[in-house]
Structure 1
């Protein structure tokens, strides 16, 4: 799967932090899609910009970090993600993509350092989650989740470097960008099935996080992120809305309530139009 550019969890699982500055958030043996969403989503002249995204795999010491680094590096995760950004977006300056040991499962955009960090522990924990879930290829599922995590962080990056307006909570808007990138249609007018699966796996990580939580506290409701279950249903809604004919299984399985599904096509149309409009000046 080739990435389709143009990002886990809280409660003891993967942490999608993002919320201060630096913003912290929280993703296949090959990446999703056949063409970059950025190059396919818009036409027109982009503003001048000679920045590039570079990547670095930093050292790892702990067992979890070593496992995550191995998964990322063996599958050339950072290489594919930087290629995707460089093919699709005009960057005003250089941006670094770092694989790093963070001593927690996390990922974040840092506007001061002009970098996105994917923590090795995040990939390792995703691998563990999908192994315990009995996935036939937990490595592919974990990498899917890391791809979506990266595009979530790209959402924060885009808002920051392009000074984009965001009238909702930024964490929700960043989730929208992850879905927008991965659910863009191919030449046949339908999203690539492997990209759709990446969003499904991203949603599953939030479901796993919600299952781990014993009870809700005031801090959960006050958090800058929506509840894990809300994020899961949002992502499933946008999957369904992007192609209702292809994703009826989400309703049949009970993963997406029919009452929510009724409005998902309209939700997707608005999401797609909004992000296309915001990013159009910055597509190559």
Structure 2
């Protein structure tokens, strides 16, 4: 009598990297797409690899086996074959292709930047040209395309034809479209002009970039990082442990600090600080917004940057008075948690080509978080006493 396989779909061509899959094929069982068995397969593979990840995978594998129940209907199948199949098929007889363990297929969605020149109003063309020449939007798109396998295409539209009520950069609910209104870029350029005229350049920020064009481009790069954080959360259905706006700001810091350097964070901090001054006294709407208070975001940006490398940034940020001394001791552990958090969120969605590098960076971020948490615990009494 045959084993009950439910609605498992047969597939014509199967990879052979997964030993569980090979065993099922050897017994002539149909192999389909069952994500639970795919997890089993991938855990077995990881458990066999060296390193701390292997220990965690082995523990998870053992827990899954303890919970597993195999339902076999029908009569006698043959003692040897039944025992082997029962040992193999711990979560069902369908098996998803285990290609996920090697990274997602690169034949997936891609990010594209589109400048709708015919839809740009004359008064906004200068700001658009600054952004186009800087290629800051394209650089962000290139990183996502190289690192993440998106389920759908994504378009970053620079256009004045935006949905009703849109006045700044926004991401649509499905994460497939980011609007960057040229009118918003012109507004950023205007705020940057005031910064250049009235703000003393921080010593950490390069003198040759302290001008309207470069500051506008760098601040816009950070803003697109924020919107890309929204888009990734929505396209990939990433779990959230807090407000989505906080996570989007976190991705902007995660991406720019890791991949670009300090300049976008510093530019964004200067622009947001100027915006906060222009906002004046906080209103009920400001306090109740899903966005953090503007001035608070300034310190969050600086804290993430400082936490990345306190030895490098404590002097020019904390010593110069830009980041309060009461906040600075919290930043290394805070950055480590943010960094590991985003690598872990993205890990199941790494592209095939990036997976090896991405896994190493995630493991390094995890080790860094463990070390920083231990160091934070050792200093906690001193930190509390000093506040």
Fold match (TM-score > 0.5):
yes
- For 2:247 and 2:120, the matched residues in 1 are separated by 34
Q: Secondary structure at the match of 1:247?
A: helix
Q: Residues 101-120 of structure 1 correspond to what in structure 2 (within 5 A)? A: 101=160, 102=162, 105-112=167-174, 114-120=176-182
The higher-RCO structure (CA 8 Å, 6+ apart) is 1
Equivalent residue number for residue 104 of structure 2: 47
1:87 is the counterpart of 2:146: yes
TM-score, structure 1 normalization: 0.76
The match for 2:317 is 250
* 1:139-173 CA distance string (max 9 Å, x none): 11111111111111111111111111111111111
Count of aligned residue pairs for this structure pair: 233
Give the CA deviation at 1:104: 6.7
Do the aligned partners of 2:276 and 2:295 also contact (CA within 8 Å) in 1? yes
Whole-angstrom distance in 2 between the partners of 1:77 and 1:261: 29
Is the CA contact (8 Å cut-off) linking 1:56 and 1:97 kept in structure 2?
A: yes
Aligned to 1:267: 334
Q: How does 1:1-284 map to 2 (within 5 A)?
A: 45-48=102-105, 49-58=107-116, 59-101=118-160, 102=162, 105-112=167-174, 114-134=176-196, 136-184=210-258, 195-248=261-314, 249-284=316-351
Structure whose residues are more often strand by fraction: 1
Structure 1 residues 244 and 64, CA, compared in 2 at 3 Å: closer, same or farther?
farther
* CA distances 1:34-72 after superposition (whole Å, capped 9, x unpaired): xxxxxxxxxx73223521112210134434422222212
DSSP 3-state at the match of 2:102: coil
Normalization by structure 2: what TM-score?
A: 0.57
**Judging changes above 3 Å, is the alpha-carbon distance between structure 1 residues 100 and 133 closer, same or farther for their aligned structure 2 residues?**
same
Larger radius of gyration: 2
Q: Equivalents in 1 of 2:297, 2:190: separation in Å?
A: 21
Shift of 1:216: 1.4
Q: Distance in 1 between matches of 2:245 and 2:294?
A: 12
Q: Distance in 1 between matches of 2:192 and 2:294?
A: 17
Structure 1 pair 75–197 and aligned structure 2 pair: CA distance change class (3 A): closer
Structure 1 residues 226, 113: closer, same or farther in 2, change over 3 A? closer
Question: Against the structure 1 CA distance between its residues 61 and 272, is the aligned structure 2 distance closer, same or farther, given a 3 Å change threshold?
Answer: closer
